[in-house]
Chain A
Amino acid sequence: MTTTTDILTLAAAGGIEPGAGLTMLVPVLTLLGTLLCGLCAAFKVKSKLPAWLSVACLAGSFVAIAATYADLGHQQRLAHGFEWINFSYTGTDGQPVTFKANFAFYIDSLTLLWMLFVTGLATLIALYASEYMSHDQGTGYCRFFAAFNLFVFSMACLVMGDNLLLLYLGWEGVGLCSYLLIGYFYTRPSAVAAAKKAFIMNRIGDLGLALGIMLTFVHFGSVEYAVIFEKARPYIDALKAGHLDEIPLVASFIPILLMIGAFGKSAQLPLYVWLPDAMEGPTPVSALIHAATMVTAGVYLIARTYPLFLLSDVALPIVGWVGASTALLAATIGMAQFDIKRIMAYSTVSQLGYMFAGLAVLSPVGGASHVFTHAFFKAMLFLSCGAVMHGFAGQLDLRKLSGLFRMPGWKVVSVAMLVGCLNLAGFPLITAGYWSKDIILAEAFVNMPGVGWVLLITAGLTAYYTFRVFFRVFMGPTHYEPGDEVHGHDAHGHGDAHGHDHGHAHHDDPHGHGPAVTATAHDPHAGHDFHPHAPGWAINTVLAVLALASFAIVPLMLTGEHHGWAGGMVEHSSAAYHTVGTSGYLEAAHGHGPHDHGHTHGHDHDHDHGQAHGTFLGMDPHKVMYYVSGVVGLLGIAAAFWLHLAGRTSAASSRADALVPAMGPLAGWARGKWFVDEFYDALIVKPLWVISHIFHVIDTLIVDGLVNLVGWVPRALGGVLRPSQSGQLHGYAAGMAGGLALLLIIVLWVTLR
């Protein structure tokens, strides 16, 4: 490990504080992984080498982060890599201004929490992808893993950077990798469109983030967290004293701009529409980038700059309501979809809404805990869906798959899916998802009861749509129809093309019964000669590890004094900055404000709140929410059982079908995703199209016309003179002789006159 020693020598010279040096390995290793995958592509490697290289680099990163955590615990360290940007100029007031942004890492427990699950999950998902992407072995395989490593590099810059500019670099980097990986199947128009949509939607949010960073620099004179938070301290003190009016208006704009960036990256209203479409990418990408890590960058941004968010009395309420509305809207859409991967995408949007609401109700602990648990179970859900999609030739329609639990070779996937669903549904006591959701719900009822109610309804809907998928696809009578990726290349239905255009199944029967294959577990050769191919060891191992991990973190959620281990990690970071050295000052500040933020955080049952705060039907939310959220989750699961499993005899129909007419237009609207895409199309895309066509006409007529006129005038003049150039030598000679004679005559006439 010469690299390690190099880094440590560098640490001694370059100002890396002891204990933080290993974090520098993460960008080094991931960049190395990108480079090696690129070299594999250059040398046309056809084996699984890029996957193993990536797994090795990512596992190395995880070990480096884990070792750093073991070393540092909750301490804070600065690791200075190199000087990146440093210049001075004279400001408008004549004072010198210095802009400094180093390639340096700020390591605290919040950073480590994020990096632990980012690198850990990246390792597991890379292992999963080694098998999942095996159809594409060759250049595509190398391209996939190169982008995968680059993504983790960008994520490391985003999460570990000690200044907002390095965060912005990582922010754009993950956006780029997301774009590259959504558009991985670049021959498929829908994938290309989805990639562009994701990129453009993110640009809108990134504009907000960029403006927020600029305003931060203008106001605080630095983009480094340490300096910003130090300069924000007087404002926090003013807040403590209840003088909200002492905070300059400019400072309160900063969180609103940063928030726009967070909404774009984390797929919140009104910028969420890109995330469901991003499912066009390969499933491991959906699991890592679009479920577990990148989309939580917005939550990280708000948690990291939490002190700034306290400076505005509207910022956090906006975050809360946006999060709650997104959670509810996405849950209702998820209830009515049939594509299981899309359902998981909407549930991601919905759960991200939960996290934002958690941050907003003065509980960064709840938000970050939910990020942590969600990363595990949502990655697992996506990977299970991916295994199904992989095995059934791209089939994702829950009306065409049923009873996979009883098929040989699908036990691990089914169990992993069940564990993921239990977590997402918030099954009481034994699941980590239940505990993290509970923190948010209780705190929401205390501080913003309206948000609390919306979230509670969403929790019920979440449990319903989650188990709708599980009961339809994994339980009930065994039945399957392959997707349209069947190419008969070999006995396992490996195809080289990956289009799974959902509108074009193999049959024309609108009811989905056409030449369907109703096969029993013992007769997989029926029908189209299609063999569902059960996942191999890599997929099964990863799913088993994730399933065990999601249970292993349950005790972590229950230890420690700050709502478990993840909560403790947040409590010792800048996200809990406002509580350092004080207690309950926010009661004074926000308690008198229009938004009635009751108190800081936590289920501190023994704490005497001393003033009115939100209750759940007159009871203390901290005491009853355990039972309420558990019951709501169970009710949702029971509803799904009754509507989608009990008495179901075929894959395509269930009792829920009878409910659809009773719902009136609501069911159709939910299935049509509330027509948000159509609304954006009519509001933005169509007007832009019309305007651009008007400009096109103006461009061709006036601008092009002027330019062409300038070109036409010399050409017309040339046309007049052109006949003189006959190309005949004698013509030119006669011209010369004649000209000479003429000249002579003129000279003679002038001299002899």
Chain B
Amino acid sequence: MAMAVAPSRPFDYLESLPGTTFYKLYQQPSTALAIFRRMLPDLAKCFVMALLYLKDPLPATDLEAWVKAESLKERDNALSILGRLHILSNTVITDNVRAYKVTDPFASSLRQALTGAEKTQSFGVLWHISDGAAVSIAELDEYARRQWEGVLGYMVGTSGLGIQRDANLSKGVKQLLQAGHLVEIRDRRVEITQDGFAFVLQDVSTQVWHILMLYVESADAIGMSSVEVLSFVFLLSSLELGKAYDKKHLTSNQLRTLTDLADFGIVYQDSPDASHFYPTRLATTLTSDSSALSNPISGSLSGPSGTGSNKAGSGFIIVETNYRLYAYTSSPLQISLIALFTTLKYRFPNLITGKITRQSVRRAIEMGITADQIISYLATHAHPQMRKHNVSRSTSNQAGIPPSVLPPTVTDQIRLWQLERDRVKATPGFLFKDFVSLAEYEAPCRYAEEIGVLVWKSDRKRMFFVTRHEQVAAFLRSRK
């Protein structure tokens, strides 16, 4: 777990870009900083920093000697990631010695980010605002929460189980969700897909990245340069919460992006023509790990609305070993999410209780949710009391296995209920039968086994079942 920090989606997208795009991307120091922070494993960061201020390339043997022999796998992983992101390049110096060098736009941008002397306004330009008119952080959080829950509620509400929400989202948002296969239009009703379920059950940081990547991918379709959008996204990630930023240095494409992102609650502006905008917490924590995000944001997104950021973590779900579930929330979105896989019993102003039953889990699985998604959702939003209890339980556990936050009985049982659906496994294929004699049956059967397509055979009934029939049929014809 310590190695792969990057969520795979933005990383895969970046990998698919051609080298020239990277050249343009890395001109901005904020981009270089964001990619450095978020996409690289620890060892890769050490490599980059060590090579950043060297004048000459470092011979490859020196770099390899620096890493311990046991950590070969991590080293190769780090080097390959750096290569794929065009950060590290192989050169050859005198005497045909292979050497590594940090590629140039990235190196100079990162250096500028560290020392802070460049001409571009890559870190945003502050907008001076008088105190009375400034928007407070609490208001920004509230806005972000409302918008984000609106989007998620739109997705979940359409599955028919949750509470219906007013569909007052902009057309762009709906189009984006549809383009990303998170919802589907079927018979003029909007329904959530399996990808959509996976999406809503993830933690907020992954969700935000997912949406942003969808937006970047669809940028070309709308007529904007994806590079520009991407670098704007990275610029947003380096801004500070609670401060207003000037819009006059942004290009028209960036302004358009700003408006679209405001619909999601990632930035806030008073009106599309306002001269300044505010990034919300969703934007400023883009380059953080999800645990840093869970502290204030999910607290305000999923906790009882109206409370400020609570100090002690932000989970709100307690799962007992008798499968009962208590969730201290009153947000309709969270309630409908929980209702997807539990049977709710009581609802109080600040608490809902329910039970995880076989029927509820089977219902969820039929809709397309996997057991792993349910378990990771519960673990991400586990109440701090469960974490504390977990730590104190772990002291009496001598085997050295890191315990999970949820009771093991519950997690195992959810997986077992999922497995129940797999009792019958269907394999499509072709059945060969009605052979006249045993000898005639044996030969193609053996041939099918040799080429590896045989799935089942019965000598008594003289039938066999294969996945692919062409070769067996050709064999039979050739024998005749």
A and B: interacting chains? no
Which residues of A line the B interface, CB within 8 A? none
